[in-house]
Chain A
Amino acid sequence: QKEVEQNSGPLSVPEGAIASLNCTYSDRVSQSFFWYRQYSGKSPELIMSIYSNGDKEDGRFTAQLNKASQYVSLLIRDSQPSDSATYLCAVETGDDYKLSFGAGTTVTVRA
């Protein structure tokens, strides 16, 4: 079993809709969770981090964490064509700030 699993894509949503991305992880002791956005041919960029159970909002993005269920999600509200990208879930594993990444979910926002 992979350490970090993401819902398979691609995910296609109309402009203005909510895109919902899910991620589960296997290491029960993980404490830090991240969402990265990666445009085609580019490097990943950090968009959200979350450490405590519950919701964290940043603009149109909301991250949700449930440590008991080992589940983290990302909601993109009012989706825009510029949100079309691959979203990577990352979980801190062990020491030294190492991250394990999911395979990514590709989101396409239809105008």
Chain B
Amino acid sequence: NAGVTQTPKFQVLKTGQSMTLQCAQDMNHNSMYWYRQDPGMGLRLIYYSASEGTTDKGEVPNGYNVSRLNKREFSLRLESAAPSQTSVYFCASFGTENYGYTFGSGTRLTVV
């Protein structure tokens, strides 16, 4: 099925551990985004990639890095996880066919 695939769906980390969240889309979209969603704060942009080979910071980039591996894949890395990074993370891609975002199913991350 066409769409955005995120892995893993759930993850528990200890403070200081690292991990990479994976995202892949099969819709041939150029633009991809990573958001985090916290209660009462809505979705906040962490990083985005307007095209293959480019990445830019969003509203809350501190503590994260990204890689646009190819047109399909855009990964988010936490180098040293902190409890403040406990959140639900969504990957999205933008398509001109509906001029809107398609979101992945999300990753629920808990840092203890």
Contact = CB atoms under 8 A, between A and B. Distances in A.
B103 A44 contact: yes
Main secondary structure of the interface of B (DSSP, over half): strand
Interface stretch (A56-64, A65-73, A77-85, A99-107): A99-107
Given A97-B31, A97-B94, A98-B33, A104 B99 contact: no
B105 interface: yes
B43 A88 contact: yes
Interface string B31-67: 1010100001111110010100000101100000000
Interface residues of A, number: 22
A34 interface: yes
Given A32-B99, A34-B100, A43 B105 contact: yes
A17 interface: no
Interface string B84-98: 000000100010001
A2 to B, nearest CB: 8
A98 B48 contact: yes
Nearest to A47: B100
